[in-house]
Amino acid sequence: MGRQPCCDKLGVKKGPWTAEEDKKLINFILTNGQCCWRAVPKLAGLRRCGKSCRLRWTNYLRPDLKRGLLSEDEEQLVIDLHARLGNRWSKIAARLPGRTDNEIKNHWNTHIKKKLLKMGIDPVTHEPLNNESKPEESSSHAENSADNNITNSADQDNSSTTPTSNCSSTTDDSTFLDSICNDQTLFTSLSLWLDEPALADATPATETGLPSWEDNIAWLLDCHDFGIHDFGFDCLNDNELNTMNTLAEQ
């Protein structure tokens, strides 16, 4: 359950206090002293809420209450206390006799805060405003330098990987050439082809300039006795060899 209301809202008067009501409240407090504020309205003969009576006495009717704006010494004391306590206005008011927490808070928001800003002091941290901007500038400068370092390192990595790729491609080419030069089978097949007589010398040409089929059929039958290694057909598979043999028999 929540806190019970200080009084019954029915029949309670609201609005500005009258002089007669102020007089009743002052006479009761001076005669009986401060007591439970919930019982004050009935005992003093007021149709007011207990909270309203307390605020009226504390902020306006106390005999020791100071009137007017805060002096320079009081403002400096409020600034020092605010730097240590923050917005704890009731504790600050306890250090200033005759001043209320509501009065000090209003004076702070309307006068002291503006004065500190004109002096270049942050009213929250009580530190110079220039010192807060410098760390921000230094942090932004540090971020920019870090980005530049990352960009330079990336460029260095790209430049270092490019010669490596070129060297690797050159190495592959040299390896391929060495393998071709060391291939004895390739040189053997080339030598066999070079040892064969030229076809133009073996067969006479016809009127069209090309050898006839009857002249070349004997040479083709002679070549039938050679193996596949003599013509460089060892790279063919079995199906291709069978097809070529079938064509030759026909």
Is 105 contained in some domain? yes
Instruction: Count CB neighbours of 52 within 10 A.
Output: 21
Position 67 scores a pLDDT of 86
* Residue pLDDT, tens place only, 20-61: 999 999 999 999 988 899 999 999 999 999 999 999 998 899
On whether the CB atoms of residues 53 and 10 are closer than 8 A, the answer is: no
Q: How many domains does the chain have?
A: 3
Q: What is d(CA 127, CA 28) in angstroms, rounded to the nearest whole number?
A: 48
Section 225-243 average pLDDT: 61
Helix, coil or strand: residue 224 = coil
pLDDT higher than threshold 50 for residue 111: yes
Is 54 contained in some domain? yes
Position 246 scores a pLDDT of 76
Q: What is d(CA 239, CA 246) in angstroms, rounded to the nearest whole number?
A: 11
Q: What is d(CA 152, CA 221) in angstroms, rounded to the nearest whole number?
A: 74
pTM score of the predicted model: 0.47
Is 37 contained in some domain? yes
Position 191 scores a pLDDT of 55
Residues 44 and 87 occupy one common structural domain? no
Q: Domain of 37?
A: 19-61
Is 106 contained in some domain? yes
